[in-house]
Amino acid sequence: MAEHDQFRISTVEGTNIIDVAYAGGLTREDEEQLHTVLDALIAEHGSVRVLARIGHIAWSRIEPAAAWLDAKGAKFLPDVEKAALVSEPGALQALTGLSAQAAPGIAWRSFGPDDEEAALAWLRS
């Protein structure tokens, strides 16, 4: 990854919440790590809630293999209860509306970068 790229995955202990922070490019290894954590959370809890903190996306630095694995990640959608997207206003928040149409069984909500605690509280509710 380039120095200014960010891809971090963590879980909120004792919950089915996965916290993904992403900015810049994306590698196959990043996507594989995400799939591994999702598989483990779903196996443990039966479902998952997603906190996605999305910064600037460098589309030219997304590896084709990563994009393919990302598309294959749609298999996880039936196991997602809620998804909170934290990003700059307008940057990717339109994606929340599109995602809600593509996966109507998931509760989707957008939050500004200063509302991360509110996003986490909403996921916990």
Residue among 28, 29, 34 at smallest CA distance from 9: 34
Provide mean pLDDT across the span 108-124: 94
- What is the structure's pLDDT at 3? 46
- What is the SS3 assignment for 75? helix
pLDDT in tens, 14-30: 999 999 998 888 899 99
- Is 111 within 8 Å of 84 (Cβ atoms)? yes
- What is the structure's pLDDT at 58? 83
Q: How far apart are CA 51 and CA 60, in angstroms?
A: 24
How many other C-beta atoms are found inside a 10 Å radius of the C-beta of residue 61?
A: 14
The residues spanned by each domain of the chain are: 6-124
118 pLDDT tier (thresholds 50, 70, 90):
very high
pLDDT in tens, 32-71: 999 999 999 999 999 999 999 988 888 888 888 888 777 7
1 pLDDT tier (thresholds 50, 70, 90):
very low
Between strands 17-26 and 6-11, the pairing is antiparallel
Which is more confident, 92 or 108?
108
- For domain 6-124, the question of CATH label 2.60.40.10 is answered with no
Alpha helices (runs of H) in the chain, residue ranges in sequence order? 28-45, 64-72, 93-102, 116-124
Q: How far apart are CA 41 and CA 39, in angstroms?
A: 6
pLDDT in tens, 88-98: 876 555 565 55
- What is the structure's pLDDT at 2? 47
What angle in degrees, to the nearest 10, is found between the helix axes of 28-45 and 64-72? 20
